[in-house]
Amino acid sequence: MQMRNTVEDNGKKRKTAEEWSQGYSPAYYDESGIMRYKIDIEDEKLANIIYEIIEEFKFATNKFPPFHSAHEGFAVIDEEHDELWDEIKGNKKEGSGERMKKEAKQVATMAIRFIYDLNEGSVINAK
């Protein structure tokens, strides 16, 4: 898999990995005010997985409130992890590959949600 370490910025300049680490954001708002992302991923399979995780994240943040504590966040991640492990142990069943993918995406989504809630300051004792 090859990933580029630069991204287009309105066609003017290419951002380096160093600039990314210094706070450059790939997010922008389109004409209708919807936030979009500029992410340069050459691997189409990876891009689709990331898109699916973003969609799951949006669903979860609309359905559930932020974590009330770091302990709650950990517990939710651990629960999703256990569900993935259950699918892995029973992987001889038909359709188990799709169920494993679903559970793995939920683990990733909840890990991202945990980081998101830490950054928003909503997780107690996060600072």
125: left (phi over 0), alpha (psi -120 to 50) or beta: left
The number of domains in the chain is: 2
Residue 28, amino acid? Y
Residues 21 and 47 in one domain: no
Could you list the residue range(s) of the whole structural domain that residue 5 is in? 1-42
Residues 70 and 124 in one domain: yes
- Report how far residue 118's alpha carbon sits from residue 63's, in angstroms, rounded to the nearest whole number: 18
Q: Over the stretch 3-57, which tens digit does the pLDDT of each residue have?
A: 344 444 444 455 555 554 555 566 777 788 777 776 666 778 888 898 899 999 9
Q: Over the stretch 81-111, which tens digit does the pLDDT of each residue have?
A: 999 999 988 877 777 889 999 999 999 999 9
Three-state DSSP at 116 gives helix
Residue 108, amino acid? A
Residues 66 and 118 in one domain: yes
Question: Which residues have CB under 8 Å from 90's CB, separation 6+?
Answer: 96
Residues 78 and 127 in one domain: yes
Residues 98 and 65 in one domain: yes
Residues 88 and 112 in one domain: yes
Residues 16 and 68 in one domain: no
Residues 15 and 69 in one domain: no
What is this structure's pTM? 0.66
Residues 119 and 65 in one domain: yes
Helix %, strand %, coil % of the chain (to 5):
55, 15, 30
